[in-house]
Structure 1
């Protein structure tokens, strides 16, 4: 299976403070890869670096074979990379429909952008019912659906997700995780997922990448992490 994302000896941080150190792993096309580790492991910094919000200090990132060094964020979006940060990033003053339109503003194919919006409403029925409600009127689960839907409007090939279940009821979190798995299986979307709920993440993931103190300590099939109690205790604490 080909890799849509190749990360090679990547280091990054904030100013003079290093956070990531020589991070190396690959993400196969059409799979879910879960980035796991304790708070402070560097997971969010990794996603911010991959999406172009932070500049790497050393190393290389290839997306679909293209070296991403120096590539502007807007070009990454056009190439098919979408990032949903922790906190969901919904514009509270805008309606559901207006937030979704933001996801397709750059697209030249307006007809397909409208089709993509209709598909989001089919995926997330609560958004269809509340399309004229403002973002601040939505529940936490609905805001997460809206953030995901806005990213999907751009028809990404690689979706970076930071803590999508944070603060959500277990039922809603489970629905979102199930949907991510279905999108990968049905449309070939690739997902790179940062998630504190390790059991939930491993339940849908194909691969687990475990980080500690800014380094990758293990990259292995998710089933191996799920089934090997010694590995879970050693690296994930349960």
Structure 2
């Protein structure tokens, strides 16, 4: 579904991505791993239209979307959950979820989608009338993911969903991603520093280092000690 070809993104003289090429198969979870500063977040921002590539291509089903406005990329079925979720803390849980379907016109369908999110994340149903500022970190991450899923995306971009979460809550988030892949055929690009967590659900993984692809890991592939110690932190 997604293919990057020789993608270059620069901030001034600094190249955050330096000729990155990768593919994310339809209906699969592709993990993007690496240390801080590797270019992981920039990669997601380039796909969702938040930064403009200097060169290279971002192909969604064969169409180059690298220079489209972010709102048009959203309408093509791409949802981006940034690091720390990006929920609007002054709005209620329900209002945040409704924002996920703001560009859709079918109110009945939107209500069904929100109800499905409450089934996925029961704590949100209990707190649907509360402002997001009162939620725990784990609940905010559930809300951010739920808001993205309300838009019925074809491609979901997740940036560090386990950051700062208790292991149990992080495992719940990963389980929902796996379920959405298996039951809905959702394609996911998952950026994570927690390599163990990401590899537990990924079909394929790419390791970035200083803006370039350092390695690729297939599902079930044994990871050698050099790769583990140099890039994955375990």
Asked if the contact 1:25–1:219 (Cα under 8 Å) also holds between the matched residues in 2, the reply is no
Structure 2 CA distance for aligned equivalents of residues 123 and 66 of structure 1: 32
Q: Which residue does the alignment assign to 2:7?
A: 10
Choose the corresponding residue for 2:146, options 138, 149, 157: 149
Tell me by how many angstroms 1:234 deviates: 4.3
| Cα offsets for 1:206-234 (capped at 9, x unmatched) | 11100000001112313215x54454234
Residue pair 1:49, 1:55 contacting (<8 A) in 2 also = yes
Normalised by the size of structure 1, how large is the TM-score?
0.95
Residue-pair matches, total? 234
Question: Match for residue 28 of structure 1?
Answer: 25
Give every structure 1 segment of 4 or more consecutive aligned residues whose post-TM-superposition deviation is greater than 3 Å.
Answer: 227-231
1:138-160: per-residue Cα shift (whole Å, max 9, x none)? 00010000000000010001100
Q: Which runs of 5+ in 2 are unaligned?
A: none
TM-score by length of 2: 0.96
SS at match of 2:90: coil
CA contact (8 A) 1:121 1:128 kept: yes
Corresponding residue to 1:88 among 65, 85, 88: 85
Q: Does 1:19 align with 2:16?
A: yes
RMSD: 1.2
Deviations 1:178-199 (A, max 9, x none): 1111110110001101111110
Kindly report which structure 2 residues correspond to 1:83-232, keeping only aligned pairs within 5 A, or say none: 83-225=80-222, 227-232=223-228
CA distance in 2, matches of 1:140, 1:24: 33
Rounded Cα–Cα distance in structure 2 between residues aligned with 1:111 and 1:237: 46
Deviation at 1:13, TM superposition (A): 2.2
